Amino acid sequence: MFSTGLLALVAILPAFVNAQSPIFGQCGGIGWSGATTCASGSTCTFSNAYYSQCLPSSNGGGGGTTTTPVGTTTKPSGTTTVTTPVTSQTPAAGNPFTGHNIFLTPFYAAEVAAAAANITDATTKAKALSVANIPTFTWFDTVSKVPSLGTYLASASAQGKSSGTPSLVQIIVYDLPDRDCAAAASNGEFSIADNGQANYFNYIDQIVAQIKPFPDVRVVAIIEPDSLANLVTNLSVQKCANAQTTYLACVTYAMQQLSTLSNVFSYLDAGHAGWLGWPANLSPAAQLFTSLYKSAGSPSTVRGLATNVANYNALVAASPDPITQGNNNYDEALYIAALAPLLTSSGFPAHFIVDQGRSGVQNIRQAWGDWCNVKGAGFGTRPTLNTGISAVDAIVWAKPGGECDGTSNSSAARFDFHCALSDADQPAPEAGTWFQEFFTTLVTKANPPL
Q: Which residues are annotated as a binding site for substrate?
A: 139, 141, 272, 275, 311, 371, 399, 403
> Least distance in Å: CB of 443 to ligand BGC?
17
Closest listed residue to residue 391, CA positions, set 338, 314, 320? 338
> Least distance in Å: CB of 77 to ligand BGC?
25
Which sign does the torsion angle of CA 114, 117, 120, 122 carry? positive
> Least distance in Å: CB of 303 to ligand BGC?
21
Using the minimum distance from each CB to ligand BGC, give the nearer residue, 427 or 449: 427
Q: Shortest Cβ contact with ligand BGC: which residue?
A: 432
Enumerate binding residues for ligand BGC (CB under 6 A): 1, 139, 141, 186, 399-400, 403, 405, 431-432
SS (H, E, C) 229-282: HHHHHCCCCHHHHHHHHHHHHHHHHHHHHHCCCCCEEEEEECCCCCCCCCHHHH
The one catalytic residue in 393, 405, 416, 425 is: 405
The one catalytic residue in 226, 321, 331, 416 is: 226
- Residue type for position 384: T
Provide DSSP, 151-209: HHHHHHHHHHHHHSS-EEEEEEE---TT-STT-STT--S--GGGTHHHHHHHHHHHHHH
226 is catalytic: yes
Calculate the alpha carbon distances from 167 to 153, 220, 314 in Å: 9, 11, 28
Determine the 3-state secondary structure of 334 from DSSP. Answer: helix
405 is catalytic: yes
122 burial type by CB count under 10 A (0-12 exposed, 13-18 middle, 19+ buried): exposed
Using the minimum distance from each CB to ligand BGC, give the nearer residue, 351 or 365: 365
Using the minimum distance from each CB to ligand BGC, give the nearer residue, 355 or 405: 405
Q: Are strands 42-48 and 51-56 parallel, antiparallel or unpaired?
A: antiparallel
Using the minimum distance from each CB to ligand BGC, give the nearer residue, 71 or 106: 106
> Least distance in Å: CB of 313 to ligand BGC?
17
Using the minimum distance from each CB to ligand BGC, give the nearer residue, 224 or 405: 405
Calculate the alpha carbon distances from 26 to 39, 80, 335 in Å: 11, 31, 21
Binding site members: 139, 141, 272, 275, 311, 371, 399, 403
> How many Cβ atoms are within 10 Å of 375's Cβ, its own excluded?
18
> Least distance in Å: CB of 342 to ligand BGC?
28
Q: Residues with catalytic annotation?
A: 226, 405
